[in-house]
Amino acid sequence: MNPDLYHYVIAPHITIRDAALVFAGIEPELCYIDLSNSFGPFDPYTENQKEAERRCKAKSFFNLLMSELSNRKSRLAVTCLVASLLKQKESQAEAWINITPDSMEGIPSELDVLIRNDDVLSLDNGKTLQFFMQNPSETLKENIFMGPWFISGDTSVTPVSIAEWADSKGVPSVFSKCLEPKPSRENGFSGAVAMDAPLLIDALLRPENPYISKVLKATLLALKHVMIHGTGKHNLTTAIEIYLEKNFPKLNNTLKGYVAKLLNIWGTKTALLPPLEEYLKSKAK
Q: Report which of 7, 6, 28 is spatially closest to residue 16, judged by C-alpha positions.
A: 28
- The dihedral sign for the CA sequence 66, 134, 9, 192: negative
Q: What is the pLDDT of residue 263?
A: 81
Structural element, H or E, at residue 197: helix 191-205
pTM comes to: 0.57
Please report, for the chain, the start and end positions of each structural domain, with discontinuous segments joined by +.
3-73+160-178, 78-151, 185-284
Residue 76, classified by CB atoms within 10 Å of its CB into exposed (0-12), middle (13-18) or buried (19+), is buried
Q: What is the pLDDT of residue 94?
A: 44
Kindly list the averaged pLDDT for each block of 10 residues, start to end, along the chain of length 285.
Answer: 70 92 89 76 77 89 92 87 72 43 48 61 71 81 79 91 90 80 49 65 72 86 86 85 88 86 69 78 67
Q: What is the pLDDT of residue 20?
A: 93
Q: What is the pLDDT of residue 178?
A: 73
Report CA-CA distances (Å) from 225 to 49, 147, 184, 215, 251: 31, 51, 24, 15, 17
Q: What is the pLDDT of residue 15?
A: 94
Distance CA 248, CA 222 (A): 10
**DSSP classification of residue 29:** G
3 state SS of 268: coil
Distance CA 218, CA 212 (A): 10
Mutual orientation of helices 253-263 and 214-229 as an angle, nearest 10°?
50
Q: What is the pLDDT of residue 17?
A: 93
DSSP 141-177: HHHHHHTT-EE-TT-EE-HHHHHHHHHHHT---GGGG
Distance CA 73, CA 76 (A): 9
